[in-house]
Amino acid sequence: MKDHSSYNDIARTTLSVLSIGMLIVGAFWIVRPFLLALLWASMIVSATWPILLRLEKLLWNKRSLAAMAMTILLALLVVGPLILAVSIIVANTERIVSWLESLSRLTLLPPPEWVVTLPVIGGKLALMWREFAAAGTAGLAELMAPHAEEIVTWIFRQSGNPGKVVFDFLLTIVISGVLYSTGETLAQEVLRFARRLAGERGENVVVLAAKSVRGLALGVVVTAVAQSTVAGIGLAIAGVPVVFLLTAVMFVLCLAQLGPSPVLIPAAIWLFWSDATGWAVFLSVWTILVTPIDNILRPMLIRKSVDLSLFVVLPGVIGGLITLGIIGVFIGPVVLAVAVSLLEAWIQEGETAEMTVTETSAAVETIETKSGVSAGHSAITGDGSESCESRADQAMDGDRVCQSGDAGLGLQHGDRPPGS
């Protein structure tokens, strides 16, 4: 009867686990089309939550008004740069058209002498330069056509369907508005789940993940502003037209983790074709200096915002970007930070357990030693006195005697007791 009951318990537990697993898989399958937007919205809300709280205080502690204002600001931040870019393009249409027409008439000059004198690559670079100059604009276009097709294909593959991109942007804004309104409730539910899953350690992991996302968002935005600004200064110094438009484009590219190179490199080539060789060399060097800024500045800002090691942030950012794309910039460091924190907690827990066992063993030995001493003392003293016979047996030549209660007071033959 007992075996039959245990079999029923095992079957019931197995069915429960399978049912819960199927529900989780089904739920994930349903939200899978919205998963990217949900991740983006969660990270945006987590990063901008302090701004929401300050705005709520300014709006008479009304969460609904603060959430509405933050949603509108988020929509403006997404749509605003697009409107600005379109307006700048419309305002400079004639200039852009004339610039495109001038490209067909450009001729590449022969390489200067200093190009030939460059170590290792000077000869090959000069030969390639002469081939491009001899081919002209039409020949150069034919040479670049296969590579241009590959570049355009890669860009479309990375960006995806434009309609889906727009839909993800709009869905991200809507989900962010919902999270702004019910953020505390959802956060408590997540903490309850983490506490139920791993106790206090799970709760600490959730808090660490939220802090990491906030620091990552701050690092990415500040890095994009700094890198695009420095690149725009270089364009202005070199005399490249429509600097503000190109700087706005570079800011968007830096946010997308593509860097300013897609703008700086064509600008340097245009300067070479415009017979501004000195400025072209300057901009080329400027591009080499500006391009790696994000890989240096972003991990430092993230590490300053969150108490994470640089050896966690740097591989997380780069590896996440390579593995998961733009969203990996945020997910990679968070995953590594959580994994490292769990590993450190596990190691520390083992060390604490070893120290506890050692201290317990030492305490037991001390107690046993004290107990042994006390037992020996009790065996000697008994009720506080030792028999005269036992002491008399140990006395030499029977000369020392004792009386009950004297506790080791010895008297010689012929001596008189005190007070007698």
Question: 3-state SS of the chain: helix, strand, coil percent to 5?
Answer: 85, 0, 15
Let me know whether 47 and 185 are in one domain.
Answer: yes
Q: What is the pLDDT of residues 58-74, one digit of tens each?
A: 999 999 999 999 999 88
Q: Do 257 and 402 fall into the same domain?
A: no
Q: Are residues 150 and 247 in the same domain?
A: yes
273 assigned to some structural domain: yes
263 and 409 fall within a common domain: no
293 residue type, one letter: I
* 395 and 279 inside one domain: no
Residue with tokens 């364009």: 235
User: Has residue 355 been placed in a domain?
Assistant: no
95 and 240 assigned to the same domain? yes
Mean per-residue pLDDT for 29-51? 84
pLDDT at 69: 93
Cβ neighbours for 262, distance < 8 A, ≥ 6 positions apart: 253
Does 124 lie in the same domain as 242? yes
DSSP per residue over 135-177, as a string?
A: HHHHHHHHHHHHHHHHHHHHHHHHH--HHHHHHHHHHHHHHHH
Query: Which residue type occupies 148?
Result: A
**pLDDT tens column, 92-119:** 777 777 766 666 666 666 777 777 777 7
pLDDT category of residue 414 using cuts at 50, 70 and 90: very low
According to the model, what pLDDT value does residue 289 have?
Answer: 92
Tell me which residue range forms the domain holding 219.
Answer: 37-308
Query: Is 26 part of a structural domain of the chain?
Result: no
The residue out of 277, 308, 339 marking a domain boundary is: 308
Residue 338 has pLDDT above 60, yes or no: yes
- Residue 102 to residues 90, 92, 111: CA-CA distances in angstroms? 19, 15, 21
pLDDT in tens, 121-144: 778 888 887 777 776 666 666 666
Residue 80 located in a structural domain: yes
The model's confidence at residue 153, banded by pLDDT at 50, 70 and 90, is low
pLDDT of 420: 42
Q: Are residues 403 and 291 in the same domain?
A: no
Mean pLDDT of the chain: 75
Structure confidence at residue 360 (pLDDT): 75
Higher pLDDT, 201 or 3: 201
What's the pLDDT score for residue 194? Answer: 86
- pLDDT category at 213 given cuts 50, 70, 90 is confident
Which position has the higher pLDDT, 418 or 181?
181
Decide if 380 is inside a domain. no
35 compared with 377, residue with greater pLDDT: 35
Does 401 lie in the same domain as 275?
no
- Residues 304 and 394 occupy one common structural domain: no
Total of domains in the chain: 2
For residue 210, being part of any structural domain is answered with yes
Residues 6+ apart with CB under 8 A from 407: 384, 385, 386
Q: Provide the residue type at 242 as one letter.
A: V
Q: Do 104 and 136 touch, CB atoms closer than 8 A?
A: no
pLDDT at 70: 92
Q: What is the pLDDT of residues 270-305, one digit of tens each?
A: 888 777 888 988 999 999 999 888 888 877 777 776
Last residue of a domain, one of 247, 274, 308: 308
The answer on 303 and 397 residing in a single domain is no
Mean of the pLDDT values across residues 183-196? Answer: 87
Residue at a domain's end among 253, 279, 308: 308
Residue 358 lies in a domain: no
Decide if 315 is inside a domain. no
Give DSSP secondary structure letters for 318-346. Answer: HHHHHHH-TTHHHHHHHHHHHHHHHHHHH
99 plus 238 within the same structural domain: yes
